Amino acid sequence: MKISNVRFVALRQPLSQPLRLAWGAMHYRHFGLVVVETEAGLTGIGETSVNFPGWAITERKATIEEGLKPLLIGEDPLDVAGLWQKMHRAFARLGVLWGKGAVMSAIGGVDIALWDLAGKVHDKPIYELLGGRHQARVPLYATGLDPGNLADSARSFVDQGYRAVKVRIGFDQARDIANVEAVRRAVGDQVQVLVDANMAYDVECAKRMADALQPYRLYWLEEPLVADDLSGYRQLAECVTVPLAAGENQFDVADAEALLATNAIRYLMPDPTRAGGLSEAQRICALAQARGLPYSPHHYGSDVGFAAVLHLIAATPGSDYLLRDVAPAPLRESVLLTPINVQDGQATVPEGPGLGVELNWEIVRTHQVSM
């Protein structure tokens, strides 16, 4: 069996209201799917992160179809490890020219699709190929709360069974503190409150915010600094008590090792759709395990990637809460023919071959962006 085609499928859904993050506003939700086809008629699906910038879907199509596809045509799709190395060797230096994040995200989407294909060929869920299932249900934290009424929104998800919620900060500091206070009051002391600054601060500002938020007993403060400010993370950890989380913008093992070497991070957050797929993400998780730290995968995309992360967690001990995007974006779930079971603040790991999910091609074609 040989690979006959590799396709990038860009999806777009307009948002009724812009989604505001510390680094800008999203007016659309973009999702990037990868389809690996074989001459035998079998296909694998994956996902690559295309949230920012807005033109990432254009770049990713070129990177995958003009860059990676020629490396893969005619190759054995079951040689997942060998193909990962081939893609990485070919693109490692090119990442310096236009960004490691773009390169590793492209590789990640293909890698997930190859694992899906391998699972289908062997008639096994991906978690079995990655080492076996250690858990069948994964606890989630809710992110993407209604910014117009954070307290009520947080309470509503707690009522649905979530035991952890995340508040985005990095805007106006006084308002951020008031929002966290309101959410803590709304959810009570038995629910975990996480905050995400989306790299909004310098060290001094991050220290002030960490001190100001200390009374609200945060589970973690996520990405207070720019991802590559390693000296800043080291300084910050020396003067704050709130646990720090980061890793969604560390794109490979080397990045994760450098971050962990600061001794600042209590929760490592690899994203398979950004950091080279399931292959590299599992290696990154092993780094956390070696240090006795939990990992909490990041995923902010469609439920194709969410399924991949569930398989990663099922096969890899040491996980903590997993991000569940609850913002209004119906395409996130409807891209699948059968939804993933999310109930009582937990997700069930899919059991079918490969990812254990199928695309709803009618929905995919409706939202596909022609480029």
What domains are there in the chain, each with its CATH number?
3-123 (3.30.390.10), 128-361 (3.20.20.120)
Q: Please name which of 187, 148, 136 lies closest in space to residue 166, comparing C-alpha atoms.
A: 187
> Which pLDDT score is estimated for 15?
86
Triad 213, 266, 278: Cα angle to 5°: 125
Percent of the chain with pLDDT over 90: 92
State yes or no: pLDDT of 13 exceeds 90: yes
What residues contact 128, with CB distance under 8 A and at least 6 apart?
A: 119, 315
> Which pLDDT score is estimated for 149?
94
State yes or no: pLDDT of 92 exceeds 90: no
State yes or no: pLDDT of 67 exceeds 80: yes
pLDDT digits (tens, 9 = 90+) for 193-215: 999 999 999 999 999 999 999 99
Q: How confident is the model at residue 23 (pLDDT cuts 50, 70, 90)?
A: low
pLDDT digits (tens, 9 = 90+) for 120-174: 999 999 999 999 999 999 999 999 999 999 999 999 999 999 999 999 999 999 9
Buried b (16+ CB within 10 A) or exposed e, 26-61: bebbbbbbbbbbbeeebbbbbbbbbbeeeebbebbb
Q: How far is CA 18 from CA 14, 26, 50, 327, in A?
A: 9, 5, 17, 11
State yes or no: pLDDT of 350 exceeds 90: yes
The helix or strand, by DSSP H or E, that contains position 282, with its residue range, turns out to be helix 277-290
Q: What is the mean pLDDT of the chain?
A: 96
CB-based burial label for 370 (10 Å; 0-12, 13-18, 19+) = exposed
Q: Do 321 and 164 touch, CB atoms closer than 8 A?
A: yes
C-alpha–C-alpha distance, residues 19 and 202, integer Å: 23
Residue 298 or residue 96, greater confidence: 298
